[in-house]
Amino acid sequence: MPQRPKIVLVGQLSSFPWVFESAERAGIDLVLVPRGDDSVESAGRAKSVVEVLPLDIDGDPESALSTLVERFRRDPFDGIMPGNEKVVPFVARAARMLGLPGLPEEVAAVVRDKRSMRRLLREAGLGAPGFVSLDGPDRWADALTLRFPVVVKPANGYSSLGVVRVDDKDQLVPAVARTWELCETELRQAGGPADGVGVLVEEYLDGPEVAAESLVHHGRVRVCAIEWKGEMTGPYFEETTVRAPAQLPADVLAAIEAEVIGAHHAFGVTEGATHTELRLIGGVRPVLLEMAARIGGAGVNHYLTHIAGGIDLAAEALRIHLGQEPVCWSQEPVPTGHAAAYSVPVGKGGRIVRVHGLDAVRADPRVDQVVQTVGPGALLRPYPDWAGYPAIVLSHHESDAAAVEFRDHLVRTLHVEYEEES
Ligand code: ADP
Ligand code: CA
Ligand code: CA
Ligand code: CA
Ligand code: CA
């Protein structure tokens, strides 16, 4: 019998089970590099994880890389895949050094920087909002040429950290100062490029938000699912609810697909799974917000795609990183229903005591999974800062209307209790 293929999965949070389950289904063994905030014990728990390899990618990327190369020489593995946004450039570099499938390093850098994504979209003739890149926290006046409202955001952020809608000049000055500070304290990467820290101001795109999960192999793109994120008007953009498949007319869905495929080509993203976010101007015209060269939501978007698109997204992504063709290239997938993800809002923030109502939700037959990334006593900072989600509920439904009804039920029944301030 041939040996089972083995992939190094970098920085996949162990409390999010889907990628591990997909690997098991696909017969792929994982060497897990735990995320910095994950424990080695919980990292090794999944059946598909046959080895845990701690690397200090954030603190010391050079020795992390040489440890990985040494591990490869001792016992070669067949692929390497990123499990979160921050490690995408590291994984691209490692893949090149080891001769494994992956993204070119320049491309990994492009999709980690919203400035370069904007520039390349424009050059390709694709939609993009007017934007200004600020050279320093005191350069806010450079943004006054834009049409307000605008959005202030880090150039290389995630999870809407530091993303703020600003309606006029008076709000702009404090917003830029605050986002700049969050960039310095939360987003600066050791060993990263000197221009990695930066703040972008861009015109507000008015319309509901959608996301697309795609696979790309040898430059051929397939959009596997389109999700509805709904109307989010700010000033902060905490994501609370995503549903799939998005209930949109066929021509709008086709326009989204075309924009997403065009963006892959514009950025040069040729291998792997991607998560793309777009706004629908006037409810119909898609404009790209950003693309991430990894599975969305640490696997949450795999769940949505698996049900709504009938595609085992994480298994396909693992295959691509092994150099194999995705199964859905040759077998037409069969969607099985509607799916939803609901994040309990952080609200005012503080030291978390518990999330009330979760036991009943766990027992609900519509619910497939409840994940919690922060335990009792953890400090949750309110937006625009961000430190984790109190709980995420994943559920399946017979219709979009039923998913909406269930969301409303969760809004009514789940709430976070924080310690009293003394
Ligand atoms: P992050 O990488 O932190 O997720 P995004 O650029 O995706 O940053 O911004 C987070 C959210 O803020 C988006 O999902 C969207 O809802 C909102 N947002 C960001 N930029 C704009 C914009 N130009 N117009 C409208 N909404 C925006
Ligand atoms: Ca194990
Ligand atoms: Ca985003
Ligand atoms: Ca992002
Ligand atoms: Ca997102």
Kindly provide the ipTM of the predicted complex, given to two decimals. Answer: 0.94
What count of residues does the chain have?
A: 422
Q: Helix 313-321 and helix 18-26: axis angle, to 10°?
A: 70
3-state secondary structure of 50: strand
Rounded CA-CA distance 336/316 in Å is: 18
In single-letter form, the type of residue at position 156 comes to N
Q: In a structure prediction context, what are the per-residue pLDDT tens digits for the chain, which is 422 residues long?
A: 568 999 999 999 999 999 999 999 999 999 999 998 888 888 889 999 999 999 999 999 999 999 999 999 999 999 999 999 999 999 999 999 999 999 999 999 999 999 999 999 999 999 999 999 998 889 999 999 999 999 999 998 888 889 999 999 999 999 999 999 988 888 776 444 445 678 999 999 999 999 999 999 999 999 999 999 999 999 999 888 999 999 999 999 999 999 999 999 999 999 999 999 999 999 999 999 999 999 999 999 999 999 999 999 999 999 999 999 999 999 999 999 999 999 999 988 999 999 999 999 999 999 999 999 888 999 998 888 877 889 999 999 999 999 999 999 999 999 999 998 76
Whether residue 162 has its Cβ less than 6 Å from ligand 1: no
159 in contact with ligand 1, CB cutoff 6 A = yes
At 219-264, the pLDDT tens digits run 999 999 999 999 999 999 988 899 999 999 999 999 999 999 999 9
Classify residue 168 as exposed, middle or buried by CB count within 10 Å of its CB (0-12, 13-18, 19+): exposed
Whether residue 17 is preceded by a cis peptide bond, meaning omega within 30 degrees of 0, is: no
Note the pTM of the prediction, 2 decimals: 0.96
113 Cβ inside 6 Å of ligand 1: no
- Domain boundaries defined on the chain: 6-109, 130-203, 337-422
- Cα of 162 vs centre of ligand 4, distance in Å, is 12
Helix (H) or strand (E) holding 83: none
For the segment(s) 337-422, the CATH number from 3.30.1490.190, 3.90.1310.10, 3.30.470.20, 1.10.357.10 is 3.30.470.20
130-203 and 337-422 in the same fold: no
CATH class, domain 130-203, is: alpha beta
Contacts of 371 (CB under 8 A, 6+ apart): 15, 16, 17, 391, 392, 394
The CATH code that applies to domain 6-109 is 3.40.50.20
